[in-house]
Structure 1
Amino acid sequence: MTCPLMGDLPFNGRPHGSADPGKRKKNEINWQEVFGQFSCVIGKIWLARKKKTAAYFSSTQFGCPGGAFWLGFNKPQTETIIHYVSSGVPGRIEGEHYCDSPDHLRQIFEYVDPVPAAGEYCVFKPVSQFSEEETPLLVSFFTRPESLNGLHQLAAFVTNDPEVVASPWSAACGSLAVWPLHYLEKGKNRAVVGGWDPSARKFFKTDELSFTIPFKMLIQMIDRYKDSFLTTKTWENVHKKINKSKKVWNEI
């Protein structure tokens, strides 16, 4: 489990200036240098998960120019990234083809309209490493479908909202930060399932997805789970499948 937290803490990314609005406007960004120093946000979080430590990012130390947008450090998104993620630029940039055209991708990015980062740094770290004085904005679970089943249903149980779980398109890091904050900004209490980004799948376990919720929803889930389906025989059957899954992946 990891938690994004905006706060005044150190960084753990690679420095470059592609988030500088002035440089973007003047077309002064050295994109060869940017991509040469590329470091995936989810990749840093993956390493932090393995080491049970924290991953840190800031407006100048974010590793991935796309990730800078999805963490709320850089908007609007740069045209180079818009073309790279969509159709590319013939003879210059091979596109990822995650969206069918730059025009449609611009519309998506304008709709997402990331909430600006509330602090200088964005920190992802295990819940156990939070002090009593710290409160996370969001909580993320990295889990496989059998366990995700319980999280999904419990979120609906505590909110009585049949649409409480959303799974919008984005980079994998967007599902951990921008989309949950996007919903909160609009007054919507939403859980976000992510991990669909093909480029980031190498930083997830096989069959693993992410499930991110506001911290307040986590408290609701903890306070009320004993009143829910999690105490029934039906869930006991699902729990057996969870254990089978763990055995298959040598996790117990």
Structure 2
Amino acid sequence: MSFILVTNDDGVHSPGLACLADAVAEFHQIVIVAPDRNRSAIGHALTLDSPLRADEIRRGVFSIDGTPTDCVNLGVHGLVEGKPLLVVSGVNLGANMGDDITYSGTVCAALEAALMGIPAIAFSLDAREFTHADLIRVSTIARNLVRQVLIIGMAEGTFLNVNIPTGEINGICLTCQGKRHYGEGIIQKTDPRGRIYYWIGGGIAGFENIPGSDCNAVAAGQVSITPLRTGLTSEVALKEMADWDLSRTLD
């Protein structure tokens, strides 16, 4: 059986997940495998020290007590027969641009699929809440992009990170990964018992002005499509380090 696997990191009951599933359902049978709760900013985490539970809450819709990466693994290897033609992840509530992609469970679910040789797309909406108008726009964009990927295919070891601005769309473009700037990263407070506790993650202060980047595109009201790769080797560093005397590290 061939199918499209749909997942996310916001949880199985997210309106964004339902929107994405509906958008791609016209192409093939879909199977939804998503976390049972919000697992945002969990990155590429894989559950290795505890068993996973999968509940089929509706036909073809599985709720998993694990991470987005777990969901992709179960969707590909455990829950249903066959192999996905495509994995789509999202629609995430909030953009995943610049450095955010390393934290994003939405993006890393697509990364996991690409590591398995399965074409994958991550979708995110640059908003704090889903509106009906935004979901209609996202649905149209996802449907049209998925159609092209199913027809044309995708380069091996590549997956797509798509960020969609809220409100009026001023165009769509291919982009590179941008660079975010963050405010204070740690917030320290004291609880009623006098014990210190911490919140990780300060406010976003902005982004670097990098022409052609995902951050610049979304700020201009454009849909950003960034092709990412699974390989992390720096070709530039390999060339620069070619003259290093590495034998000295063994002395």
TM-score, scaled to structure 2:
0.28
Taking CA–CA contacts closer than 8 Å with sequence separation of 6 or more, which of the two structures ends up with the larger relative contact order? 1
Whose strand fraction is larger, Structure 1's or Structure 2's? 2
